């Protein structure tokens, strides 16, 4: 499992992403709702945050913070097969029909994620149609390091030190047999007081 986690972490850390308000790296035309929002190669889909970042004290983070976001689908998208990004391939379709993967980064290093939730039976994921609309989600975090519970009930790690971190939310898969990636980032600043 540790090898699978290490390989997943290496793969995820090599995938570049533009900032929350940039569309650099996007090769897909979008309508007005997704223009300039994160990066996406899934036509008409994006993950949108209410802003570019936020600031909390370490104590506020320890008490739990919520960062809202929206999955926007500008028009129905047929033939979408979402793919989990966790090591055990346990992720399942949720918000808007995609499998969202949330992680906290310190530079390129993953400091928090649900990367290891144990092993899950892997079966074929059915193609689906994402329907037009806006699905609201929220990332809840208590300011600690963690790689997930695994199948051995891994405890959560220590609190992160004051500094600047990045929340990245992404979804990957195929659409009509072609790979896609939808991704956006939000800056988290943790302060001492």
pLDDT of residue 25: 39
Structure tokens at 79: 């033939």
Average pLDDT, integer, range 75-92: 93
Token pair 């976001």 in the structure block, residue: 69
Strands 39-40 and 178-191: antiparallel
Domain ranges of the chain: 2-191
The pLDDT tens digits for 49-74 are 998 899 999 999 999 999 999 999 99
Listed in sequence order, the residues at least 6 apart from 155 whose beta carbon sits closer than 8 Å to its beta carbon are none
Token pair 């650099």 in the structure block, residue: 24
pLDDT of residue 2: 37
Kindly report the pTM of this predicted structure: 0.82
User: What average pLDDT does the structure give for the chain?
Assistant: 86
Q: What is the 3-state secondary structure (H, E, C) of the chain?
A: CHHHHHHHHHHHHCCCCCCCCCCCCCCCCCCCCCCCCCEECCCCEEEEECCCEEEEEHHHHHHCEEEEEEEEECCCEEEEEEECCCCCCCCCCCHHHCCCEEEEEECCEEEEECCCCCCCCCCCCCCEEECCEEEEEEEEECCECECCCCCCCCCCCCECCCEEEEEEEEEEEEECCEEEEEEEEEEEEEECC
CB neighbour class for 83 (10 Å; exposed up to 12, middle 13-18, buried from 19): middle
Structure tokens at 73: 């689908």
CATH superfamily membership of 2-191? Macroglobulin (MG2) domain (2.60.40.1930)
Query: Does 27 have pLDDT greater than 60?
Result: no
pLDDT of residue 29: 59
Judge whether 67 and 48 are in contact, CB under 8 Å: no
């Amino acid at each position: 499992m540790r090898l699978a986690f290490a390989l997943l972490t290496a793969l995820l850390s090599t995938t570049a992403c533009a900032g929350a308000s940039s569309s650099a790296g996007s090769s897909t035309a979008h309508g007005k709702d997704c223009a300039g929002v994160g990066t996406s190669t899934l036509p008409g889909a994006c993950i949108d945050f209410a802003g570019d970042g936020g600031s909390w004290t370490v104590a506020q983070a320890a008490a739990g913070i919520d960062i809202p976001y929206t999955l926007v689908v500008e028009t129905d998208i047929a033939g979408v097969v979402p793919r989990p990004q966790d090591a055990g391939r346990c992720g399942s379709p949720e918000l808007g029909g995609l499998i969202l993967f949330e992680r906290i980064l310190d530079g390129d290093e993953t400091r928090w994620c649900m990367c290891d939730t144990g092993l899950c039976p892997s079966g074929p994921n059915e193609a689906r149609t994402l329907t037009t609309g806006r699905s609201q989600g929220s990332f809840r975090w208590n300011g600690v390091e963690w790689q997930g519970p695994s199948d051995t009930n891994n405890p959560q790690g220590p609190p992160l030190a004051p500094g600047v971190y990045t929340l990245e939310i992404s979804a990957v898969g195929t659409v009509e047999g072609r790979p896609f990636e939808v991704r956006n980032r939000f800056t988290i600043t943790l302060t001492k007081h």
